[in-house]
Amino acid sequence: MYVELSRPILDTTTSSCARPFMYVKSPSFSGVTDGDLHLAPRTWADFMTYFGAFSLGKWRMYTGRPDLTPILRFESSAPLRVSLTGNVSHKTQKRLILTTEEPTGRTDDGWYSYEIAYPTDIPYSLVAFTLVSGDEPVDVRRVAYGAELPEGRDVRIEIVTTTFKKEKQVTGNIRSIQQALLHDPRWQDHFRLTVVDNGRSLEESVTQGDERITLIPNGNVGGAGGFAAGMIHALEGGWATNVLMMDDDVTVCPEAFKRTLTLLSYTCDEYREGIVAGAMLSNGNFEVQQEDIGSIRPKRNLLPIKPRLFLDRVYDITFNEEILPRDDQPGMYSAWWYSCVPVDLIRDIGLPIPLFYRRDDVEFGTRAQERHRVRFMTMNGICVWHDPFDMRWNPTVEVYLATRNMLIQEAFTPDAMNSSAALVAHMRETLLDEGRRLNYSSMELICDAIQDYLRGPDYYRHPVGERLFKAAGRKAEKLVPLSQLPGMPSTVNIYDVERNANDPEIGYRWKIHDWVAEYGHRFTSKMWGDGFAIIPNDGWCKPWRVLHKAGTVLAVDPTGTKGAVRHLDARRFNVLVRRFDQLAERLLNDRTVAASYRKARPSMTTEEFWKGYLKEALEASK
């Protein structure tokens, strides 16, 4: 039977208006539509795009059907010339497969219908098509790729989103999911939505009485606790075959849910228990893909498997489909801004560990691979839009939680490359980098994070995450409007600041001399002087050149409107380095803490543990 596998997106969205070439390339397509495509006379529309093409290579691989051949269907108000196209990586020019101008038939309301099968032996990663209109305008509707397949497996997805006082964003996502899935007869029996409200700020009316939506009031137990509550709801309900974890601060793409469901209905045995890893696209630049699958690197930092890609380019969308992780690549994970996990996998390995926020998804992905290899699936069009990390630097999260949870995550579930020496080296480099930026509050947060890790797992059997998070927040650097900083510039050109601060060639020469950064604080008059520098406030930039001989630093946010003043403080720097070295020595020499975390993991990932933990947090919040 003919099964529809995916549809090009022709609905109006913020991203379609901003980057229409992600959807359709045509002089007639502005991104503003009513769900159909309207072509002017003698013009064209190219669907070899991120949302318009069909991922032939991925569909064949994930379904185990190397002969899977798509069939293009659509209807038009007038005849068109249709050209089928294909593309593989390292080719910037599409390849023509065939061209036809003959409609297949007519619909009851007089439209021309087209049903065109692609050849069975085409070797392309992506296939698509181009439409060319004649002497009159043409409307095109009901565009879809399908294939002749047997009936698929019954897949039922519980979408779980956890939120903390982001009412506007999560309400918008609820409405979008309702309209596209829960109120559509084709999809409504395959999706449910669970909203875990950690801030208890949503009214029950947000569900609009929809029985397919569950609202769970929860204590502030962070993302880990919120997703654990959603998983428990799905496990106890017994309805779902898969749980899809999704952040609250994302812009959803309804077609992504549909493609995920259809894909899971036809996966082969090798991928049946796999995880669908949705990509994170940028809300700042809609065409930029930040990550789909991530991995832990030998130096213990987290990086995407793929480089940053621009999804309005044919080369990049093809490259995106063809970059696959190695079969033996360790430390892979699917971040929980969009991650669809089989319920059987959750039953098998347990619930998340109570990290509050950050690295819970990393640990879960690593744990899933301990017993046997878990496949990760990605595909063009399965995505959400998320605020880019470099636009929302928060030292409480990026310094304190990132450091503490890295230690806890790797103690609970060490990956194949786990190394105490590498962990310490990574943290020490981060500490010294913050010292180079004269950011002593972040140096202190790193030390606090290690100290809180050394408390051991029993300390985290109770919901202490919010309290520790707030304590770290009180120590973190505070940004204020530049107008409130005496003697500082009232305005800053952030473009110039970013450009000057990230000069890797010159900056690297200063980084080679680590003793300048570490010991220069002890020779302030010679090595640092009384200079002044303006740098970004985030911890990702490496502004060593502009910091040379700077005794005062203005750290500004990405908008260039807020900042903080930092002053050279050699005494505080040296005190914090000594504190770190003492803590690091404990980490390297004392194996009992790491062993205690590992021993505690089975009991701290059970439903029984999490039910007690969530109950305690909810009662404490009342």
What pLDDT score was predicted for residue 241?
98
> Do 217 and 317 lie in a common domain?
yes
> Do 380 and 403 lie in a common domain?
no
> Do 21 and 38 lie in a common domain?
yes
Picking from 372, 391, 410, the residue at the C-terminal end of a domain is: 391
H/E run at residue 132: strand 126-132
Instruction: Let me know if residue 597 belongs to a domain.
Output: no
H/E run at residue 131: strand 126-132
> Do 66 and 174 lie in a common domain?
no
> Do 183 and 98 lie in a common domain?
no
H/E run at residue 277: strand 275-277
Which residue shows structure tokens 């040379």? Answer: 548
Is residue 610 a contact partner of residue 446, using CB atoms and an 8 Å limit? no
CATH number at residue 210: 3.90.550.60
> Do 91 and 26 lie in a common domain?
yes
β-bridge mates for residue 333, sequence order: 294
Which residue shows structure tokens 């973190």? Answer: 476
> Do 387 and 445 lie in a common domain?
no
What pLDDT score was predicted for residue 525?
39
- Around Cβ 168, how many Cβ atoms within 10 Å? 7
Mean pLDDT, consecutive 10-residue stretches, the chain (622 aa), reads: 94 82 92 88 96 96 96 96 89 85 94 96 94 95 96 96 89 92 95 95 88 94 95 97 94 94 97 95 91 92 93 93 85 94 96 93 93 91 86 90 96 91 95 94 98 97 95 96 90 84 54 46 50 90 84 91 93 95 94 94 97 94 76
CA dihedral 51, 54, 58, 63 (to 10 degrees): 120
What pLDDT score was predicted for residue 468?
96
**Of 83, 81, 85, nearest to 94 (Cα)?**
85
> Do 367 and 399 lie in a common domain?
no
How many domains does one find in the chain? Answer: 3
Which residue shows structure tokens 């060593």? Answer: 544
Instruction: Let me know if residue 335 belongs to a domain.
Output: yes
- Around Cβ 269, how many Cβ atoms within 10 Å? 7
Domain containing residue 509: 395-589
What's the gap between Cα 618 and its chain centre? 28
Phi, psi at 471, each rounded to 5°:
-65, -40
pTM for this model (two decimals) = 0.92
What pLDDT score was predicted for residue 348?
95
> Do 276 and 171 lie in a common domain?
yes
CATH number at residue 45: 2.60.120
What's the gap between Cα 405 and its chain centre? 18
> Do 214 and 287 lie in a common domain?
yes
> Do 164 and 238 lie in a common domain?
yes
Nearest 5°: CA angle at 391, between 385 and 394? 115
> Do 131 and 194 lie in a common domain?
no
Picking from 93, 116, 148, the residue at the C-terminal end of a domain is: 148
**Of 202, 355, 196, 338, nearest to 259 (Cα)?**
338
Q: Give the up-direction half-sphere exposure of residue 396: CA atoms within 13 A in the CB hemisphere.
A: 16
The C-alpha atoms of residue 130 and residue 84 are separated, in whole angstroms, by 7
Pairing of strands 302-304, 293-296: antiparallel
The C-alpha atoms of residue 316 and residue 312 are separated, in whole angstroms, by 8
What pLDDT score was predicted for residue 503?
61
**Of 391, 427, 415, nearest to 581 (Cα)?**
427
418: left (phi over 0), alpha (psi -120 to 50) or beta: beta
